[in-house]
Structure formats: C-alpha cells, structure tokens
Amino acid sequence: MIDKLRDIYDPDFVREVFDRCSGKYIAFSLICSFGFTERWRRQCVEALPTPAGKAPTGYDLMAGTGEVWPHLLRRFPQIDAITAVDISPGMHRRALDRLHAMRAHRIRFIEDDLFASRLPPESADFIVSTFGLKTFNSDQHRRLAKLIAQVLKPGGVFSMIEASDPKGWWLRPVYRLHLLVVLPLIERLFLRGAQDFTMIGAYTSNFSDASGLARMLEEAGLEVSYRRFFFGCATAVSGRRPLA
C-alpha cells in the first residue's frame, strides 16, 4: 500500500516503487500505453540533434530497463558509449538481462540517485531521457536543468520526453480515466502487488507537461525546443548547449 505520510519525490521512495515494478515494467508500459511508449521513445530520439564527433558518448538519464537504446543506436550507429544512470537496482538488473552481445560493450552503468552521481562537467556529447521526468518535483526539475547544462559539452545535444496531461484535448477525460482509474484497477485485479503502477499514474498526473522544464533549461543557458505528441499525451524538450 502507498504510505501517505512519505514524500513521493524522495529518491528512496521512488527507488522502492521502481524496484517493486521492475519485473513487470516493460510489459505493463507497452500494453497499458497501447504501444505509445515505444513510439514516443523513437520520437524522442528523432528529436535529438545529431551529436558531434565520430564516436560520441553520452548519458541515458533515468534509464530504467534501457528501452531507448535500440532507437538511439539505430539512429546514431556512430555512438561509442551510453552511460545509463538509474537509482533502482531492480531496473538496472533488468537492463543488464536485456543487453545482448551487439550492444553490451557500448553500455556502462551508474546505479545511483542522479543528483548524487557526480557526473563530470562537460562530459557528454548527448543526453537522453525517456519517461524519467515525472518522479521529480519542480525543485528537482530545476536541479536537473542545471545538471544537464553543466554535464553537456559546448555544442552537446539533449532530448527528453515524458507522458503528460493533454490539456484542452476533448478526449482528455478518457485519458485521465485510463490513467487514474483503469490502470490502478488492472494492477489491483491482475498484479495484486503494492500500488506501484498506480503511483506512476499519480506522478504523470502531477507532472502536467514539460513546458516548465523547457523554461528552466533555457534559464540554464540551453537552446530548447518544446514539442507535444499525440494531442499532448506526451511532451518533449530537446536542444543543445551553445558553443560559446
């Protein structure tokens, strides 16, 4: 059961949620989004400007089970290494299970809270993140924006996407019903565990969209494009750190 007294944005709380859902995360996210999560990961990678250099290296923040890597390596086969950062040992283990020989040598891991992980300044040609924004509150988003500006090399590029609240869309009530009622029901009836996927619905609903993060990234000195996908059911920010 969800402990109502705990801060749902406390990294320890978030780690426990994802550790518990790690076993079923891939199937649940694919089936319950009707395949949209895969499509949005691909679109996030399409929005990433081409990283500079012959063998770029970078980070997949809040990498989870590494679902974005096939898209990233297909579009940019020149990528030399992706460092995955994730706080959850469960998700990390699943990511390791899913590595196959073809890409294992290009993936490295940091299993830690992003904000404690001390990523070296100017160490990334690119940064991606898919569905890792919702478990942060707005203070954490501000820290994330500063971190990205610091960790990117001058000219470095980024793209991040998150499921969002499609405000103004006439089918929004159906979307919210799916997120806040149907998914928790599926979890209760079929998964019979803690209400972890229910929490993901709550995080998504609180997140609203990536427009606030877009402003913070700009304030941190980055060039930013903001995009909405499928009537705003997902929103993305992408761009680069200016050269000078």
Ligand X SMILES: C[S@@+](CC[C@H](N)C(=O)[O-])C[C@H]1O[C@@H](n2cnc3c(N)ncnc32)[C@H](O)[C@@H]1O
Residues that bind ligand X (CB under 6 A): 11, 14, 18, 29, 41, 62-64, 67-68, 85-88, 91, 113-114, 130-132, 135
Residue 64's nearest CA partner among 96, 36, 35, 39 is 96
Q: Which CB, 18 or 158, lies closer to ligand X? A: 18
CA dihedral 91, 94, 95, 101 (to 10 degrees): 170
Amino acid type, 179: L
Write out the DSSP string of 77-122: TT--EEEEEES-HHHHHHHHHH--HHHHTTEEEEES-GGGS-PPTT
Nearest approach, Cβ of residue 133 and ligand X (Å): 9
Nearest approach, Cβ of residue 144 and ligand X (Å): 9
Q: Which CB, 67 or 125, lies closer to ligand X? A: 67
| Residue position matching structure tokens 């869309």 | 169
Q: Which CB, 8 or 81, lies closer to ligand X? A: 8
Nearest approach, Cβ of residue 162 and ligand X (Å): 9
Q: Which CB, 74 or 171, lies closer to ligand X? A: 74
Nearest approach, Cβ of residue 176 and ligand X (Å): 19
Amino acid type, 5: L
Q: Which CB, 64 or 156, lies closer to ligand X? A: 64
Q: Residue 237 is inside which H or E element, if any?
A: strand 234-240
Beta bridge partners of 27: none
Nearest approach, Cβ of residue 33 and ligand X (Å): 10
Chain position whose Cβ is nearest to ligand X? 64
